[in-house]
């Protein structure tokens, strides 16, 4: 593993209370110009970011435990990514791959064929956002199978466009009053070991979903099953072992396209290139975004050549899909992930953090569960002695962490989960400091 060099001091340092005066002034300006419907987790405005820190406009240096929601796995200003972006922008920012194509799009597709699970022949299409990738994976599955129905799961998150809202489980804030929603989407029970009946195996949880699919839809009407191999927004839910392989096997036997939504879990985050790798499942189509391009907007679907190539020429695309600046960033980010062996870094972060959080869980009855894989980790909070979700305490923990200079995100259907998603290039000292702050915030809040 090569050593990572940082541009900014990797230290937590507060020079004002948070938010500082400049951030507060921006919040006031923002209210008059930006629609209220766009939220921000923290009221602190970024000026600079590198490695594990974000420096705000008031000069405070905060520890980033969110990576802009699992995006800046290689850091927010990786020198290779920055140079590749500048170099490409200096030559051309856009021609449109559908008008005058360019090599870097093909190179990204070649890389994704190697990195995604399975050694079958694959094809790739590039887009801009995770939601757009999901939309297109469903388009391909419907065309290729000639079927309409799509299965998604409890606690799923797949995006904010009309089709992906329909796939997303949680109403508030994602769906409330934004309907009507796309038809032919069916929701099935997820494997959620912490909340399932004790002892329910992954295979049993999968059979529970499959029985409902067979009774309520019928395999012959089902185009696709879409699932996050580790659920993100829904609460960092890791399904019981055997759940995913059983679903994949059933899908294969029944001509149903199995789509792994790896938008949040992909690109070294979980200690493998993709979360699907841990149980060796080979999805028919993988959706990707976030970590793919070091912070530049790019997304992709990569899948079985026979499925993707069924679509008529011109059936898939978009003006900006596979933008050349974003492709240059992706190639540099993938190189940085390989060079710094970020899958190994993610496993290391996971070991350090879970050891400390599990020890804390032994002492703190409000911690229902510590879970996750690699650097996709979560702590679920409950009212002590019950499994009743405690969203208030969770919110309080994030607020207390921020007060101390640690950006900590929450998630979960019940809003009772804190999630740890640091940039994978975060140094050990900074990680230890962040964990100390988080432990303190948990002890103080419960």
Q: Interface mask (CB under 6 A) for ligand PLZ, residues 259-288, using x and -?
A: --x-xx------------------------
Confirm if 284 and 258 have CB atoms less than 8 A apart. yes
* Ramachandran angles phi, psi of 264, nearest 5°: -95, -30
Q: Which stretch binds ligand PLZ (CB under 6 A): 5-13, 59-67, 129-137, 407-415?
A: 129-137
Contacts with ligand PLZ by CB under 6 A: the residue count is 16
Please tell me the distance from the alpha carbon of residue 212 to that of residue 202, in angstroms, as a whole number.
16
* 233 vs 277, beta carbon nearer ligand PLZ: 233
Q: Interface mask (CB under 6 A) for ligand PLZ, residues 178-217, using x and -?
A: ----------------------------------------
Find the shortest distance in angstroms from Cβ 253 to ligand PLZ: 26
Q: Which stretch binds ligand PLZ (CB under 6 A): 9-17, 123-131, 211-219, 386-394?
A: 123-131
Find the shortest distance in angstroms from Cβ 433 to ligand PLZ: 26
Find the shortest distance in angstroms from Cβ 130 to ligand PLZ: 2
Rg (CA), the chain: 21
Please tell me the distance from the alpha carbon of residue 65 to that of residue 421, in angstroms, as a whole number.
5
Find the shortest distance in angstroms from Cβ 325 to ligand PLZ: 17
Please tell me the distance from the alpha carbon of residue 43 to that of residue 56, in angstroms, as a whole number.
10
**Which of 123, 147, 158, 348 touches ligand PLZ (CB under 6 A)?**
158
Q: Quick check: 69 binds ligand PLZ (CB under 6 A)?
A: yes
* 256 vs 301, beta carbon nearer ligand PLZ: 301
Burial of residue 82 (CB within 10 Å: 0-12, 13-18, 19+) is middle
Are β-strands 149-153 and 222-227 bridged in parallel, bridged antiparallel, or unpaired? Answer: parallel
Find the shortest distance in angstroms from Cβ 152 to ligand PLZ: 11
Q: Quick check: 129 binds ligand PLZ (CB under 6 A)?
A: yes
Q: Quick check: 159 binds ligand PLZ (CB under 6 A)?
A: yes
**Which of 232, 291, 294, 405 touches ligand PLZ (CB under 6 A)?**
232
Who contacts 136 (Cβ-Cβ below 8 Å, separation ≥6)? 125, 127, 301, 316
Confirm if 302 and 144 have CB atoms less than 8 A apart. no
Distance between alpha carbon 422 and the CA centroid of its chain, in Å?
12
* 165 vs 206, beta carbon nearer ligand PLZ: 165
**Which of 105, 127, 157, 381 touches ligand PLZ (CB under 6 A)?**
157
Confirm if 285 and 116 have CB atoms less than 8 A apart. no
* 281 vs 437, beta carbon nearer ligand PLZ: 281
Q: Quick check: 131 binds ligand PLZ (CB under 6 A)?
A: yes
**Which of 50, 154, 228, 390 touches ligand PLZ (CB under 6 A)?**
228
Please tell me the distance from the alpha carbon of residue 263 to that of residue 133, in angstroms, as a whole number.
9
* Ramachandran angles phi, psi of 367, nearest 5°: -85, 110
Confirm if 289 and 263 have CB atoms less than 8 A apart. yes
Q: Quick check: 289 binds ligand PLZ (CB under 6 A)?
A: yes
The candidate with the shortest Cα–Cα distance to 349, out of 294, 251, 269, is 269
By Cβ distance, which residue is nearest to ligand PLZ?
A: 130
Sign of CA dihedral 388, 393, 395, 401: negative
* 233 vs 272, beta carbon nearer ligand PLZ: 233
Find the shortest distance in angstroms from Cβ 146 to ligand PLZ: 26
* 326 vs 430, beta carbon nearer ligand PLZ: 326
Q: Which stretch binds ligand PLZ (CB under 6 A): 45-53, 130-138, 197-205, 399-407?
A: 130-138
Contacts with ligand PLZ by CB under 6 A lie at 69, 129-131, 134, 157-160, 228, 232-233, 261, 263-264, 289
């Amino acid at each position: 593993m090569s050593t990572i060099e940082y541009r900014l001091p990797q230290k937590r340092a507060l020079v004002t209370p948070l938010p500082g005066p400049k951030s507060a002034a921006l919040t006031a300006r923002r209210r008059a110009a930006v629609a209220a419907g766009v939220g921000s987790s923290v009221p602190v405005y970024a000026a600079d970011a590198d490695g594990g820190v974000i420096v705000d406009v008031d000069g405070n240096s905060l520890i980033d435990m969110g990576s802009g929601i699992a995006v800046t796995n290689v850091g927010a200003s990786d020198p290779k990514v920055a140079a590749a972006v500048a170099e490409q922008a200096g030559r051309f920012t856009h021609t449109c791959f559908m008008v005058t194509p360019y090599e870097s799009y093909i190179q990204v597709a070649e890389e994704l064929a190697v990195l995604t699970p399975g050694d079958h022949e694959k094809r790739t299409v590039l887009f801009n956002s995770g939601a757009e990738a999901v939309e297109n994976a469903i388009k391909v599955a419907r065309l290729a199978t000639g079927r309409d129905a799509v299965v998604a799961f409890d606690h799923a998150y797949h995006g904010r466009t009309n089709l992906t809202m329909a796939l997303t489980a949680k109403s508030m804030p994602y769906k409330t009053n934004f309907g009507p929603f796309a038809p032919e989407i069916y929701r099935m029970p997820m494997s959620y070991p912490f909340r399932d009946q004790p002892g329910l195996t992954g295979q049993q949880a999968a059979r529970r979903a499959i029985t409902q699919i067979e009774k309520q839809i019928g395999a012959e009407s089902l185009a696709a099953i879409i699932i996050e191999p580790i659920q993100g927004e829904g609460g960092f839910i890791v399904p019981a072992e055997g759940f995913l392989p059983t679903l994949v096997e059933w899908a294969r036997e029944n001509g149903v396209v199995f789509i792994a939504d790896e938008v949040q879990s992909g690109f070294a985050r979980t200690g493998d290139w993709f979360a699907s790798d841990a149980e060796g499942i080979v999805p028919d189509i993988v959706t990707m975004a976030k970590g793919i391009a070091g912070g530049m907007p790019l997304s992709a679907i990569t899948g079985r050549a026979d499925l993707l190539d069924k679509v008529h020429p011109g059936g898939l695309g978009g003006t900006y899909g596979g933008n050349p600046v974003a492709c240059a960033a992706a190639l540099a980010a993938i190189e940085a992930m390989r060079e710094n062996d970020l899958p190994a870094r993610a496993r290391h972060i996971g070991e350090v953090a879970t050891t400390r959080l599990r020890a804390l869980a032994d002492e703190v009855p409000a911690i229902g569960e510590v879970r996750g894989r690699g650097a996709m980790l979560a702590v679920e909070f409950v009212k002590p002695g019950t499994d009743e979700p405690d969203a208030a305490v969770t919110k309080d923990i994030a607020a207390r962490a921020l007060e101390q200079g640690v950006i900590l995100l929450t998630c979960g259907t019940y809003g009772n989960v804190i999630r740890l998603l640091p940039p994978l290039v975060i140094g050990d000292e900074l990680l230890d400091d962040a964990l100390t702050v988080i432990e303190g915030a948990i002890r103080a809040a419960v």
